[in-house]
């Protein structure tokens, strides 16, 4: 089972790992696009106004641009430790035992705009590049990633649980992947899509899937696993599961 997570805009700074080495990342077939994007954001960082426009950041976030300027020489840390925010708070990998963390590193991977795909334990620097970024003189990120990342994700040979947000899922959709929609149910039975806490619920699902010893091979078995964990999960056919939470 491979669980795909979205990255976060915010990232922990620093790290105690050596500078980025693409050879330390899996899927070397992604390296040409990784190299192209690393060079583009590193070069673009010398032009702060152009970086702000391309990355969608304000002057208050110029430190993000400074990170890109040193992306190849900065210290690294494992991907699951690098990303922060609501989903990663709920995932809480720092509370895992060594054995649990090893399983999480194998099962969890992040769909990154810069690296394409990084597994949980793989070392990366802090950087700024989002799925919606448009680098001048460069094709869209979807145009770059879909031809190379799509086949990688399609060829895993495992059940893929895609918890990526829309923009990142669009970079390389995975046919047959299980997706999860989170709905809030009110006392009168009406439902609505969860927005603010959507990431927290998906972080809890990711944690559960990282810790289980089960290896569900399809959407039906995955639904059963989540139900045994006490979640209200519905499946009306297809590849989407619906997690229903109280309003």
- Give the model confidence (pLDDT) of 146-185 as tens digits: 999 999 999 999 999 999 999 999 999 999 999 999 999 9
pLDDT of res. 27: 97
pTM: 0.95
pLDDT of res. 138: 93
- Give the model confidence (pLDDT) of 188-230 as tens digits: 999 999 887 899 999 999 999 999 999 999 999 999 999 999 9
pLDDT of res. 56: 95
Residue 42 structure tokens: 């590193």
- Judge contact between 34 and 22, C-beta under 8 A: yes
Domain definitions of the chain by residue range: 2-246
pLDDT of res. 106: 95
């Amino acid at each position: 089972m491979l669980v795909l997570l979205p990255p976060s805009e915010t990232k922990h700074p620093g790290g105690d790992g050596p500078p980025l080495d693409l050879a330390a990342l899996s899927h070397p077939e992604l390296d040409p696009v990784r190299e192209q994007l690393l060079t583009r954001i590193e070069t673009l960082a010398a032009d702060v106004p152009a970086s702000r426009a391309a990355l969608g950041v304000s002057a208050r976030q110029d430190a993000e641009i400074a990170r890109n300027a040193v992306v190849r020489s900065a210290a690294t840390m494992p991907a699951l430790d690098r990303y922060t925010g609501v989903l990663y708070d709920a995932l809480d990998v720092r509370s895992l035992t060594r054995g649990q963390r090893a399983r999480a590193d194998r099962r969890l991977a992040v769909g990154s705009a810069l690296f394409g795909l990084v597994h949980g334990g793989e070392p990366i620097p802090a950087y700024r590049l989002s799925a919606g970024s448009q680098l001048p003189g460069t094709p869209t990120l979807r145009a770059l990633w879909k031809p190379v990342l799509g086949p990688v994700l399609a060829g895993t040979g495992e059940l893929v649980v895609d918890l990526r947000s829309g923009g990142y899922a669009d970079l390389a959709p995975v046919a047959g992947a299980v997706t999860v929609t989170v709905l809030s149910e009110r006392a009168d039975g009406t439902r609505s899509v969860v927005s603010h806490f959507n990431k927290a619920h998906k972080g809890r699902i990711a944690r559960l899937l990282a810790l289980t010893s089960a290896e569900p091979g399809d959407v039906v078995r995955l639904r059963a696993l989540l139900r045994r964990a006490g979640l209200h999960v519905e499946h009306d056919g297809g590849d989407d599961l619906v997690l229903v939470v109280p309003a």
